[in-house]
């Protein structure tokens, strides 16, 4: 509540949308099992769009002006990195496989939820006590997928099975949304549910400000990004958009042990971060840059090489080629349970996507030659 009070007059984010953001972040949405998050998202976006649909693997879409031939997508991804139960020992411990790029280094002593057949089961990543490791170099192991295990209180395989936990059950971390000083938010899986929030807010602003677009707008919350941009690939083929604006997170590079010479110079709180790269359409990017300049939205440009590593690739190279642009939001500590971002970047990224949509028309010249 304090947040909306402080910046009541200027903030794009309302009490209601802030509440949605918190619920949406706190709800687990593991790769391949995103449906509960998609339901929350669809429920929120429904009043702002003309119709909604989902595809066979759970990508959710809100559509405005579905009868228009020219189609524009704004897109984020709905899935969250997680683990799979892979092996259950006779002593009642659980070994895991990655489901997306979960970071093994942060796992020891985390609390998790195993999504079993009988519902949620709490567990922890156990780790040998420091006393049993100190002074014994051989025992000073680093956490790795093959030595990490979960303890849910069961002391036999039978007890685990009785809880409804099975091979293939997904596991997510428990940590949720919180606020830090100076308008910083932390949470699990801001990558990329903050994107789902931002595209929903764009739809809300279009509706509330009674804006009419000269094209069909598809607000897409895609599944399965974290294991290879798969949901976007499927939905791009289905919608066959003419233009796609993708949003995802990118690295704030101001914290220790990150090399700016390699990762570039990006700071939380200093604005959205689009990028140059072969998959990013130059003319569309120029349009975004012009909109930002006109609306006084600061940008932090980056470059990517062969691929953007985001759903942008899936849209750009889908079908016969779809002019695509990536507008990322800076984030600290990606793929940890304390992903951190700045409120101002959220607002400015929403605003940049919104204003870009208001500038774009089916006649916008995107020809390279
Ligand atoms: Zn990710």
pLDDT digits (tens, 9 = 90+) for 10-69: 789 999 999 999 999 999 999 999 999 999 999 999 999 999 999 999 999 999 999 999
Task: State mean pLDDT over 313-324.
Answer: 95
Q: How far is the CA of 38 from the centre of ligand 1 (A)?
A: 17
Residue labelled with tokens 């016969």 = 320
Q: How much is the mean pLDDT over the chain?
A: 95
Q: How far is the CA of 43 from the centre of ligand 1 (A)?
A: 24
How far apart CA 365 and CA 137 sit, in angstroms, is 64
Q: How far is the CA of 240 from the centre of ligand 1 (A)?
A: 25
Residue 194 CA from chain centroid, whole number: 6
Angle at 275 between CA 271 and CA 278, to 5 degrees: 170
- pLDDT of 2 > 80? The answer is no
Joined together, the tokens standing for residue 320 give 């016969």
Task: State mean pLDDT over 116-135.
Answer: 92
Q: How far is the CA of 192 from the centre of ligand 1 (A)?
A: 7
Q: How far is the CA of 252 from the centre of ligand 1 (A)?
A: 14
pLDDT, tens digit, 9 for 90 and up, residues 76-110: 999 999 999 999 999 999 999 999 999 999 999 99
pTM assigned to the model = 0.95
Angular region, 262: left φ>0, alpha ψ -120 to 50, beta rest: alpha
| H helix intervals, 240-310 | 260-263, 282-294
Q: How far is the CA of 342 from the centre of ligand 1 (A)?
A: 18
**Residue-level pLDDT at 211:** 98
Q: How far is the CA of 226 from the centre of ligand 1 (A)?
A: 5
Half-sphere exposure of 318 (CA within 13 A, CB side): 25
Q: How far is the CA of 230 from the centre of ligand 1 (A)?
A: 13
Task: State mean pLDDT over 185-214.
Answer: 97
- pLDDT of 334 > 90? The answer is yes
How far apart CA 31 and CA 19 sit, in angstroms, is 24
Domains of the chain: 2-80+188-359 (3.40.630.10), 82-173 (2.40.30.40)
Q: How far is the CA of 292 from the centre of ligand 1 (A)?
A: 26
Range name among 25-29, 240-244, 303-307 with the lowest pLDDT average: 303-307
Task: State mean pLDDT over 133-143.
Answer: 78
Q: How far is the CA of 335 from the centre of ligand 1 (A)?
A: 6
Q: How far is the CA of 191 from the centre of ligand 1 (A)?
A: 5
Q: How far is the CA of 11 from the centre of ligand 1 (A)?
A: 27
Q: How far is the CA of 338 from the centre of ligand 1 (A)?
A: 13
Q: Residues 241, 327: contact at Cβ < 8 Å?
A: no
């Amino acid at each position: 509540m304090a947040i909306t009070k402080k910046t009541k007059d200027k903030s794009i984010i309302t009490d209601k949308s802030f509440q949605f953001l918190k619920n949406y972040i706190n709800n687990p949405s593991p790769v391949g099992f995103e449906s509960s998050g998609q339901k929350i998202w669809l429920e929120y976006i429904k009043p702002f769009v003309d119709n909604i649909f989902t595809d066979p693997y759970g990508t959710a879409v809100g559509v405005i002006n579905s009868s228009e031939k020219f189609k524009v997508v704004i897109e984020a991804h709905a899935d969250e990195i997680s683990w799979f139960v892979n092996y259950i020992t006779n002593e009642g411990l659980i070994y895991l496989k990655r489901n997306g790029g979960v970071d093994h280094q942060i796992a020891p002593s985390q609390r998790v939820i195993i999504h079993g057949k009988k519902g949620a089961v709490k567990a922890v990543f156990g780790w040998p006590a420091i006393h049993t490791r100190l002074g014994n170099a051989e025992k000073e192991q680093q956490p790795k997928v093959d030595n990490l295990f979960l303890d849910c209180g069961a002391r036999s395989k039978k007890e685990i099975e009785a809880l409804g936990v099975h091979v293939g059950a997904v596991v997510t971390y428990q940590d949720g949304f919180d606020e830090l000083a100076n308008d910083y938010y932390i949470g699990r899986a801001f990558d990329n549910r903050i994107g789902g929030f931002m595209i929903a807010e764009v739809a809300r602003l279009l509706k509330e400000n009674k804006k009419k677009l000269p094209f069909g707008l598809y607000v897409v919350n895609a599944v399965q990004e974290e294991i290879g941009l798969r949901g976007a690939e499927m939905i791009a083929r289905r919608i066959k958009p003419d233009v796609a604006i993708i949003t995802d997170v990118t690295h704030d590079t101001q914290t220790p042990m990150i090399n700016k010479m390699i990762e570039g110079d990006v700071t939380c709180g200093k604005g959205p971060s689009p990028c140059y790269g072969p998959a990013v359409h130059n003319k569309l990017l120029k349009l975004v840059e012009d909109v930002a300049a006109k609306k006084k939205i600061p940008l932090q440009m980056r470059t990517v090489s062969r691929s953007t590593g985001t759903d942008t690739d899936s849209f750009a190279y889908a079908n016969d080629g779809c002019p695509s642009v990536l507008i990322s939001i800076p984030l600290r500590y990606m793929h940890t349970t304390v992903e951190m971002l700045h409120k101002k970047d959220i607002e400015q990224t929403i605003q940049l996507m919104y204003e870009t949509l208001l500038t774009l028309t089916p006649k916008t010249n995107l020809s390279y030659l």
